[in-house]
Amino acid sequence: MMGKMMKLVLPIIAALICAIQFTFLPSGVHAADTVVSQSVIAQALPATVAIYTEKNTHAKSLSKEKVAETRSLPKTTEAWTEEQARALLPKQRDMSASRPDEIPLGSGFIIRPDGFIVTNHHVVAGSSSMTVKLSDGKAYPAEIIGSDPLADLAVIRINVPHQLPTLSFGDSDNLTLGQPILAIGSPFGFAGTVTGGVVSALGRRTEDNAVLDLIQHQAPINVGSSGGALIDYQGRVVGINSAIFSPLGGNIGISFAIAGNQAQPVIEQLLRQGYTVRGGLDVETQPLSQEISTGLPGSPKDGIIVIRSPEQGHNRILDVGDILVSCNGQRIASNNDLARLLYPLTTKAEIPFEMIRDGQRRTVSLLVTPQRSVTVPIAVKEPASDKAVGHATAGMTILPIDQGLSRSLGLPQNQKGMLILAVQPESGAALAGLRPGDIVIAAGTKAVVTADDFHEAVSKARGLRQISLLIQRNGDRNYLKVEIF
């Protein structure tokens, strides 16, 4: 009797043991896969690196292509005299006086045995120097070969006296939902950290990476994991880890990696020539918010608004205030949409755009031209302290910009607009976030060159009790809604 019971119980116990073993495996991973992954990890780890950078605490860089992605301007309610306004404008900072801090900022992986490494653009941007630490603990100085801010990809290089192990790309187009993957990186400086998970979604996009598709996955990544490899169970790179979604700052299982198949052409360009080429219009645009829309003719509901148009060439047909609605039949709802549509266009071509001007829709042909990816430092010269007389209107004291004022402010010689010298506390201008040193470029869709231009625009808008102003600050342009009291 006891023997029969044991025969019945033993299989059940064995099944329970197996079930317990499997519960401790990562979601989507089978026991047989763990043997495979261990050998894959052993081969992949030597080709992964930790990246340490030195960044001046005051250093700042901004890509030309990113300038158009606008943010709300900070608010101020202080009143300033003309001299105080000029003193408020940004001055050239002495970068050498700042104390550099070494930060274990990111990760990367070796793609060529002579020391070429792939990482994220945001890992290396603004670095004054950079060190790469290999899996054996040896560290080497690194140089940036090239980077692309829009794609958030960069290639760096170290000079070593021997050949290095490498990782190769797989086919990210063949990934399937639920497929097991591994992430290798240096979260918080802990080099060679391996985490596992499964593919959660494909074809994602975020505000920080508008032009390339992202792979959403479960593998935990944290600060310092950026630029690390996302690999399949054959040890092939299918993505470059770049971001997490985290309301509270920690990992909650929503991680993103740039799809390998889309990253490869970018990396090849960076390896070959140190920069990438993509299509551009030579215009700057801003998303059309509801607040801005209410101050424009016809109150348009969709599209992006032109805030800087070319002064010459084919696309000079665009005016500040024009609204781009679609590109080649595809809807444009944000700057990211436009960037994504133009990114693959690497040769000169005329493309049909639908636009709105003064409330009327029309179709125009715009010239898309190849443009290089470039990162430029923000450096604003200290203005001179020459005096001028301003004009008070709409809660602001303004001054027309002439060539002399342009030179003293370090602005382009052909800069047009009205310099804000003072902002009245609690005025509509103050509540909108305008401050001394800002430049009014346009009121609604009309350029503002003289004080009369501005007075006329404000007078016409008094019935609406608000006006949309195109404001320039430190080279960036934004439309803001200003209430008229």
C-alpha to C-alpha distance for 82 and 105, rounded to whole angstroms = 42
152 carries an active-site annotation: yes
The residue annotated as part of the active site, out of 122, 127, 309, 337, is 122
Residue type at 331?
R
Do the Cβ atoms of 479 and 284 come closer than 8 Å?
Answer: no
Could you tell me the two tokens for 444?
């609604």
Bridging pattern class, strands 375-377 and 418-423: unpaired
Instruction: Name the active-site residue from 127, 147, 148, 152.
Output: 152
CA 402 to CA 416: how far, in whole Å? 7
Parallel, antiparallel, or unpaired for β 116-119 and 100-112? antiparallel
Rounded (5°) CA angle 441-446-447? 35
- What's the residue count for the chain? 485
Judge whether 226 counts as a catalytic residue.
Answer: yes
Distance CA 74, CA 63 (A): 21
**157 alpha carbon, distance to own chain's centre:** 23
Residue 99 token pair: 């104390």
The answer to whether residue 122 is catalytic is yes
The answer to whether the CB of 125 falls within 8 A of the CB of 147 is yes
User: Backbone dihedral region of 412: left (phi > 0), alpha (psi from -120 to 50 degrees) or beta?
Assistant: beta
Let me know: does 352 contact 324? Beta carbons within 8 Å: no
Query: Exactly one of 127, 172, 186, 226 is catalytic; which is it?
Result: 226
Task: Report how far residue 105's alpha carbon sits from residue 270's, in angstroms, rounded to the nearest whole number.
Answer: 21
Residue 87 makes CB contacts below 8 A (sequence gap 6+) with: 385
Show which residues are catalytic: 122, 152, 226
